Structure 1
Amino acid sequence: MTLLGVQPGMYGQEFRSSKGTSDVKMLLSAIVLMAVSSMGAAASTTTKVEQGQLQGTHEDSLTVFRGVPFAAPPVGDLRWRAPQLAAKWQGVRPADKFAPQCVQNLGNGPDKPSATSEDCLYLNVWTPAKSAHERIPVLVWIYGGGFNGGATWIPTYSGEVLARKGVVLVSIAYRVGPLGFLAHPELSAESPQHVSGNYGLLDMIAALQWIKTNIAAFGGDPKKVTIFGESAGGIAVSQLCASPLAKGLFEGAISESGGSFGPPRRAGGPGENMRLLADAERDGASLARDAGAHSIAELRSLPPQKIMAAQRGLAWPIVDGWVIPADQYTLYQKKQFNDIPVLIGYNSDEGASFSRDRTPREYVEGVHQRYDSFAERLLKAYPASGTTVPKTARDLSRDAAFGWHTWIWARLQSQLGSGKVYYYYFDQHPQAPADSPRPDLGAPHGREVAYVFGHLNDLQHEQPTAADHIISDAMATYWTNFAKYGNPNGKGMPQWPAFSDQNPHLMYFAGTPHTGPVPTPDGLNALDAYFAWRRSPEGVRDSAIEDAKPAATNVMGAKYPRVLPDHSVVFQLKAPSAASVDVDITGKKFPMTKDSDGVWSVTTEPLVEGFHYYALDVDGIRVNDPGSHAFFGTGKDASGIEVPEDGVDYYLSQQVPHGDVRIRMYHSSITGQWRRCFIYTPPDYDSNATARYPVLYLQHGMGEDETGWIFQGHANLILDNLIAAKEAVPMIIVMDNGYASRPAGPFAPPSARPDVTSFQDVMIKEVIPMIDSTFRTIADRDHRAMAGLSMGANQALHIATQNLDTFAYMAGFSGTMNGLSTDALDPETAFSGVFKDGAAFNQKVKLLWIGMGTQEPNPFPGAIGSFRAMLDKAGVKYVYFSSPGTAHEWVTWRRDLNDFAPRLFR
């Protein structure tokens, strides 16, 4: 250990002697030698840690080390992994500059954008020690920034004032935003603990482990470490107090405007930000899709800016079962926390930073929307005026996000732990003029930080007053006393009593430090009841409903139906005068109940993934849901609900080039009617004017029409994604209406029943020539395919097998040429003997493909089985695809197309 010289001037005292001049000269010479020696010691700013030697800087009475690596750079394959040990180095490493801040969307470092990097796991040390043997208490700062920003270089966080009060001040960095808190199923799968998401918290824990091992080299005491942080940093302090991974890494904790005691919710408001791992993984999978990544490997290869751009909402720590084992409130109730002294508090007007209500009406409506049956009690405790939203109203957002969490933390710790609680309320602020927009403004979020660090000049547009300096010095002294003794009190300081339910007193920082009661106790008790309800089974269910996203099939702005994570669906309909309402989902009815406002609602049992037709029955009359788009299915326009497949995105819109869907009207001389077909052209169709494309003719099922494969089946998106991944050849898809029949006579309209012979003529004689003449197709059999689902499968296979000079590829999705018949088939006679010579058929046909779901209802398994048995008997080659767990539904047919299309035109 070579750290640490003496303070400049410590030998500058006056010497007097009665001895002779020679003695005086000798003494003066000795003083000079001592001075030279002391100057050399003062300039000695090196120290040795596990990884190697560091060269810091001497700044007044302190030695400062900046940019000290405590973990390996989390880049490349280490992105989204727990922090690894920092590498050792040779020689002396300079530690005189702050390291780059972690990548974030909230601005850049001191001077230039290059001060931001993924290589950001560094810490900084301000030490007053003159020897490595001093064992000075350690304060470790964790910055705020909503877990989406923050940095250690910020001037307000400079540690010299606190360090001069007798502590070693350390500030640590941690990953933020999606780079620090992304959860994803693949990340969980590769983790030994089968979790993901809390990388930023793991960075903090790694930094604390490094401090325990190395802080003695800076004169610090590894057995007297206190963590402190503000906002997200204060919340992190709270979470570290509950994390078993942090046990023994610190002996005290200070949280400024922190706490994390709200119940987990998928999409809760302030104070209810925690999510469960499964919910966070779903959100992470969505981020990956939005970033255009199909795997974690691809996501790791993307530049960080693209990941940040794909972020939706705030990144946040989660209840992962490992770093944070469970809801922190319940952990404390079970006495499963790191029992240490805590110093915790918040500011008087946190709501000024977070309240967005501009009028009393907005405020009241927002309270009712979030707090429901608790709204009136809360509005009484946090009232608005007739014309403004004053501080009394803003205090609700203060307490929901900070006040209640601090209050309940103080109560649980004092009731269930042995470590004492010191609770404060910061209210030091200038008085706003009476004619200002907010004359009742208190101390907003984050204001106390400059006071704690002793940097009052960082307060914007203010000239610090004598009272400001008194409060600042008091807070710095209390904070450092707490680090030294586990108790903020000290000689000459106003007494700060420990908090308990029997002695519910706080230290008020306003004017001069003084004690006072808990603010807004009625409001805190009302919030306590609210959060307790949110933890109840009824509250958990209501939270799930409120947090669920509207279905993708809803009309614009419709809040219902909503699909819950377990795939149950919430339906609502306002019909005050109705006597009965139910939801009919393909024949299964779910009765709805009416509330006092005349709103009918029901939550179904979990539904099968995929697309479902449904309708509402209102007093026995079938109506479509005004909240849902209508889809042509079951022979009519019907409401539809999409229950998304978990972890699957092949049929969803992604960040890939997209093709076009065109509508072509044509008059059929065969049917005597105007008809239309939908035509998908691949992404480069218009930009590559010389390219020609193969064509897939793709048919819908019974009761549907030419819109089905686009609106219900997402055929265009499936092909976009396959083409982008180079898994399918770019192709044109033609989707025509399968209902075609000839007029019954010269004056009679065509029959409503489909006639495969008529439809075959429409396809062969009208549609294919029209497509080949108006689109850039490769007009030969080797570049044509025909497929269909259910009824369309029957049509496609009949037409393709009877026109082998036109089609080389063919497929039936949940259907074959024998329709619903389960009778045995003889290849010699069935279907005009087209399959009797298997070898000849195999030579002519490039691909015969058949597929169905494993849960298809009768008679589909029997009918398709009979058809396959005939093919096997004849020696006809075919591909069979089985969709696991799905029935006669769109999810089966989407999977069919996703498997069939890549096999075409190779």
Structure 2
Amino acid sequence: MKMTWMALAIAATCAMSVGAPVKVDQGLLEGTVEDGLSVYRGIPFAAPPVGDLRWRAPQPAAKWTGVRKADKFGPQCVQGGFGPPDPNAGPMSEDCLYLNVWSPAKTAKDKVPVLVWIYGGGFNGGATSIPGYSGEVLAKKGVVLVSIAYRVGTLGFLAHPELSAESRQHVSGNYGLLDMISALAWIKKNIAAFGGDPNKVTIFGESAGGIAVSMLSASPVAKGLFQGAISESGGSFGPPRAAGGPGENMRLLATAEKDGLAFQVGAGANSLADLRKLPAEKLVGLTRGLAWPIVDGWVIPSDQVSLYDAKRFNDTPILVGYNSDEGLSFSHYATPLDYIDSVKGRYGPFAGKLLEAYPAGATGHPKSARDLSRDAAFGWHTWTWAKKQASLGKSKAYLYYFDQHPDFAANSPQAGYGAWHGRDVPYVFGHLNDLQKETPSASDRVISDAMVTYWTNFAKYGTPNGNGAPEWPAFTEDNPQTMVLAGTPHPGKVDNEAGLKTLDAYFTWRRSAEGVAASAVEDAKPAPTNVMGAQYPRVLSDKRVAFQIKAPEAKSADIDIMGHKYPMTRGADGTFSVVTPPIVEGFHYYALDVDGTRLNDPGSHAFFGTGIDASGIEIPEDGVSYYLANNVPHGDVRIRMYKSKVTGQMRRAFVYTPPGYNADTSKRYPVLYLQHGMGEDETGWIFQGHANYILDNLIAAKKAVPMIVVMDNGYAAAPAGPFGPAAPAGRPDMKSFERVMLEDVIPMIDADFRTIADRDHRAAAGLSMGANQMTHLATGHLDTFAYVGGFSGTMNGLSTDPLDAATAFDGRFKDAAAFNAKVKLFWLGLGTQEPMPFPKSVGAFRTMLDKAGVKYVFFSSPGTAHEWLTWRRDLNDFAPRLFH
């Protein structure tokens, strides 16, 4: 037993020992010798992208003194958006830009061809340390195998206007691709030290790695860094779309920047600087959906089809292909009807032909249907790439179809399965023991040996042929053959070429003006003001709005947004639709006119405004979160019904109590009395204005003190004697409203809520009509209020006549010193695009205050009119100034 143990120890020492140091740009590296190969793990090719280097192009790696050990993989890049990280890949870190080398070279002068592996993982996961990517089998076939890491997920592909502004190229978003390019530049400069040939580099990758190879093949930034490209289940030839399906999910920079702003809002950050301070793991946890490279105009200059058609690509030999049943991993439908509905929803006018080419079958979801998912995401791209390279380039294209898989019994759940996504990887790396729950067959070994030979031949010669492997014909449009990797490698026909041609027509249509317009509507999100499940209206990325309503019996319809009418077009099925010009950000009331009858849109919630319950649409403001329901403690909004002693009627007030109000029953709070405008009611500040969210966010950020906010109905009318009716609805009665506030509301709030019941802890504000009411109320009762705010309105209403402080408003402002001493804050606000007469009426009031010497704060809301976005901004500025 002792001799056996010693023999094993000696064998292990022979299998792995320390190699002679090699010199790279940064210093000396000491790797290991493993079974005749020189192996170096964890070589830094760029500086750690942490701190201020987060979301920047990779910077040069630091030099070191002495000899650096290179015997362990670097950490995998922080990830989590594409399923759990591989448990066998080691720890995660933002400090992850490392590469690994397996070299068969005996000296630095051997000039061995280089094969560079780019891992997959949907651009949201992956690592070089995954055991199945170990490069010894390929290296032993006569190549230097290098595997490179790159940032993934939000950390690798976030675009943001601030990131673009700080970039020399004025772009952002493709940091993961820049990592790959940086690694390739490092390889070109240093690989000779490992015996590699810097002028014979082939890049290869699978899934996202194969897509990245496609992108690098069309990137001018990667020009000259490689001489061959292999893509397994890759390709990126679909048109850019804001939210397209797999195969057409590249976004333009402008769209990606808006998505970056939305991510910032979701993270609760106010700026890029705030995002850079958040822990990487939190950023990953906040990610919704998949991060992806973008058409930024620099790394990826344009749509890849356009680049190839213009012959703006890196002309190298390519070896590209896909697996027979990729759809098994990405296409899941419970019933044939689900599949058919999905095809109609995505492919529109091409759905019929595609359902013929990829039929659903009688039950379940057979391979014939799964193949549409396969070809839309992989097959069409690979086929298109091969066609473009063969017809437009000087170098050859080689296409394959991987179909090696177990023969499942006809009565098994796996019956009919082909080669699923990723199944080819163990064959390429020669690690058939990685096949899950399978014992490799003789046929598996034949295919793996052939693929290892083809891949390394391609790296050596620019063709897969040679060294006894079956002859692989180059792909041409006249002879569109593919190498079928199943059983024994053999040339064959392209699978379902008719389906690929139909997809080609579909993608061509998507690039047309009609297709681009259709994509813009299909990719738009339903408005946040829609009722549950309503798909229309939709807000497009450029702030246009798509409306749609089905009215089969109607002859005409239009949309009226605050007096601007947009005629709708009738479809064959009676569906009316229109896409408006861009609508200004914020909240807007609108209505449908159908055959001359005004209706509310059944897709929209109704909001009380303009004197009626009206449809409303929210056009989100990019990059802000102050009025959204963020992940902060939230207060409550209570409905308080009361019978007014002034009007004799039941009335209603909405009362906001701040976060923590119920927890600490000893604490008392100041109160802001906040009023709505004309044609609205006490619901406006909550449903349209989001006053509760604004206060929640300000309080959470410690910008405003916790306060109670009371929102009452501004329409109050006392009966005219014992038998006389109240004033007509819609006509405000200033005196009655003031009495309701002073005699009903304030006493009720002080009695029923934990208020600080003195003037120093009361504020009065309102918008438009409410501004007129509350400025009159507060300035007339300075024993009750110490803070006053007028949003888009003042005490002179709509009058633009000059005002004299000595006589106007009972002379309340004639003694400026006394007024200034008494009022802690007099605040006025106005949007820069407010319609007349508001600029002149507010201007006349301000002129009076200026002449009298009355102190006030004036806030200007840029680009907004007489609308809720102005008033949200007003409250966001006004509330932090209260009760200090």
The two structures have a TM-score, normalised by structure 2, of: 0.96
> Does residue 401 of structure 1 match 2:385?
no
Deviation at 1:271, TM superposition (A): 0.3
Using the alignment, how far apart are the partners of 2:573 and 2:597 within structure 1?
A: 22
Instruction: Please list, as runs of the form range in 1=range in 2, the aligned pairs for 1:273-312 lying within 5 A after superposition.
Output: 273-312=249-288
Instruction: Please list, as runs of the form range in 1=range in 2, the aligned pairs for 1:676-715 lying within 5 A after superposition.
Output: 676-715=652-691
Q: Which runs of 4+ in 1 moved over 6 A?
A: 38-42
- Code of the aligned partner of 2:811: G
- Code of the aligned partner of 1:821: S
Matched with 2:290 is 314
Contact preservation (8 Å) 2:831, 2:864 = yes
- Code of the aligned partner of 1:318: I
Matched with 1:899 is 877
Matched with 1:495 is 471
- Code of the aligned partner of 1:900: F
Contact preservation (8 Å) 1:109, 1:115 = no
> Does residue 77 of structure 1 match 2:55?
no
> Does residue 808 of structure 1 match 2:783?
no
Number of paired residues? 868
Structure 2 residue corresponding to 1:661, chosen from 614, 628, 637: 637
- Runs of 5+ in structure 1 lacking a partner? 1-37
Matched with 1:29 is none
Deviation at 1:688, TM superposition (A): 3.0
Matched with 2:449 is 473
Using the alignment, how far apart are the partners of 1:388 and 1:785 within structure 2?
A: 65
Using the alignment, how far apart are the partners of 1:143 and 1:286 within structure 2?
A: 29
> Does residue 93 of structure 1 match 2:71?
no
Contact preservation (8 Å) 1:350, 1:444 = yes
Using the alignment, how far apart are the partners of 2:849 and 2:18 within structure 1?
A: 90
Q: Deviations over 1:428-466 (max 9, x none)?
A: 112111112242211111111111111111111211111
Instruction: Please list, as runs of the form range in 1=range in 2, the aligned pairs for 1:789-804 lying within 5 A after superposition.
Output: 789-804=767-782
Q: Tell me: CA distance 1:606–1:108, structure 2 relative to 1, closer, same or farther (3 Å).
A: closer
Matched with 2:307 is 331
Matched with 1:16 is none
Using the alignment, how far apart are the partners of 1:48 and 1:673 within structure 2?
A: 90
Contact preservation (8 Å) 1:289, 1:655 = no
Deviation at 1:65, TM superposition (A): 0.9
Q: Which moved more, 1:725-734 or 1:204-213?
A: 725-734
Q: Deviations over 1:58-104 (max 9, x none)?
A: 11111111111111111222111111111112222221122211111
Q: Deviations over 1:266-319 (max 9, x none)?
A: 111010111111211222222222222222222122122211121111111111
Using the alignment, how far apart are the partners of 1:791 and 1:73 within structure 2?
A: 57
- Code of the aligned partner of 1:658: H
Using the alignment, how far apart are the partners of 1:807 and 1:788 within structure 2?
A: 14
Deviation at 1:39, TM superposition (A): 9.0
3-state SS of 1:475 partner: helix
Using the alignment, how far apart are the partners of 2:371 and 2:863 within structure 1?
A: 52
Structure 1 residue corresponding to 2:186, chosen from 197, 200, 210: 210
Q: Tell me: CA distance 1:41–1:592, structure 2 relative to 1, closer, same or farther (3 Å).
A: closer
Contact preservation (8 Å) 1:230, 1:257 = yes
Using the alignment, how far apart are the partners of 1:889 and 1:849 within structure 2?
A: 18
Q: Tell me: CA distance 1:61–1:617, structure 2 relative to 1, closer, same or farther (3 Å).
A: same
Matched with 1:746 is 722
- Code of the aligned partner of 1:786: A
Matched with 1:757 is 735
Using the alignment, how far apart are the partners of 1:712 and 1:476 within structure 2?
A: 64
Contact preservation (8 Å) 1:234, 1:258 = yes
Contact preservation (8 Å) 1:101, 1:117 = yes
Using the alignment, how far apart are the partners of 2:50 and 2:320 within structure 1?
A: 35
Instruction: Please list, as runs of the form range in 1=range in 2, the aligned pairs for 1:541-690 lying within 5 A after superposition.
Output: 541-690=517-666
Contact preservation (8 Å) 2:19, 2:38 = no
Q: Deviations over 1:360-391 (max 9, x none)?
A: 11111111110011011111111122223221
Deviation at 1:687, TM superposition (A): 2.5
Contact preservation (8 Å) 2:108, 2:196 = yes
- Code of the aligned partner of 2:543: H
Matched with 2:8 is none
> Does residue 189 of structure 1 match 2:168?
no
Deviation at 1:749, TM superposition (A): 4.0
Q: Which moved more, 1:255-264 or 1:504-513?
A: 504-513
Using the alignment, how far apart are the partners of 1:820 and 1:286 within structure 2?
A: 38
Matched with 1:831 is 809
Instruction: Please list, as runs of the form range in 1=range in 2, the aligned pairs for 1:819-858 lying within 5 A after superposition.
Output: 819-858=797-836
- Code of the aligned partner of 2:698: L
Using the alignment, how far apart are the partners of 2:371 and 2:844 within structure 1?
A: 72
Matched with 1:484 is 460
- Code of the aligned partner of 2:778: A
- Code of the aligned partner of 1:643: I
Structure 2 residue corresponding to 1:107, chosen from 54, 64, 84: 84
Q: Deviations over 1:95-145 (max 9, x none)?
A: 112221111113345558x61111111111111111111010000000011
Using the alignment, how far apart are the partners of 1:108 and 1:401 within structure 2?
A: 23
Matched with 1:883 is 861
Matched with 1:449 is 425
- Code of the aligned partner of 2:770: G
If you compute each CA radius of gyration, which structure gives the higher value, 1 or 2?
1
Deviation at 1:41, TM superposition (A): 13
Using the alignment, how far apart are the partners of 1:201 and 1:250 within structure 2?
A: 14
Contact preservation (8 Å) 1:426, 1:443 = yes
Deviation at 1:508, TM superposition (A): 1.1
Q: Which moved more, 1:839-848 or 1:555-564?
A: 839-848
Q: Deviations over 1:510-549 (max 9, x none)?
A: 1111111211111111001100111111111111111111
Q: Deviations over 1:844-864 (max 9, x none)?
A: 111111111122112112211
- Runs of 5+ in structure 2 lacking a partner? 1-12
Deviation at 1:218, TM superposition (A): 0.7
Using the alignment, how far apart are the partners of 1:302 and 1:677 within structure 2?
A: 40
Q: Which moved more, 1:388-397 or 1:682-691?
A: 682-691
Q: Deviations over 1:377-416 (max 9, x none)?
A: 1111111222232211111111000000001111111111
- Code of the aligned partner of 1:94: K
3-state SS of 1:744 partner: coil
Using the alignment, how far apart are the partners of 1:656 and 1:207 within structure 2?
A: 41
- Code of the aligned partner of 2:847: A
Q: Deviations over 1:680-725 (max 9, x none)?
A: 1122322233322211111100000001011101111111122222
Deviation at 1:814, TM superposition (A): 1.0
Matched with 2:116 is 140
Using the alignment, how far apart are the partners of 2:60 and 2:180 within structure 1?
A: 13
Using the alignment, how far apart are the partners of 2:683 and 2:291 within structure 1?
A: 39
Q: Deviations over 1:524-577 (max 9, x none)?
A: 110011001111111111111111110000011111110111111111111111
Contact preservation (8 Å) 2:18, 2:30 = no
Structure 1 residue corresponding to 2:22, chosen from 47, 53, 57: 47
> Does residue 716 of structure 1 match 2:692?
yes
Q: Tell me: CA distance 1:503–1:870, structure 2 relative to 1, closer, same or farther (3 Å).
A: same
Q: Tell me: CA distance 1:40–1:526, structure 2 relative to 1, closer, same or farther (3 Å).
A: closer
Matched with 1:785 is 763
Deviation at 1:491, TM superposition (A): 3.7
Structure 2 residue corresponding to 1:363, chosen from 314, 319, 339: 339
Instruction: Please list, as runs of the form range in 1=range in 2, the aligned pairs for 1:120-159 lying within 5 A after superposition.
Output: 120-159=96-135
Using the alignment, how far apart are the partners of 1:360 and 1:590 within structure 2?
A: 39
Contact preservation (8 Å) 1:411, 1:501 = yes
Instruction: Please list, as runs of the form range in 1=range in 2, the aligned pairs for 1:412-431 lying within 5 A after superposition.
Output: 412-431=388-407
Matched with 2:4 is none
Q: Deviations over 1:582-606 (max 9, x none)?
A: 1111122211122122211111111
3-state SS of 1:640 partner: strand
Matched with 1:870 is 848
Q: Deviations over 1:792-812 (max 9, x none)?
A: 011001101110111111111
Contact preservation (8 Å) 1:346, 1:402 = yes
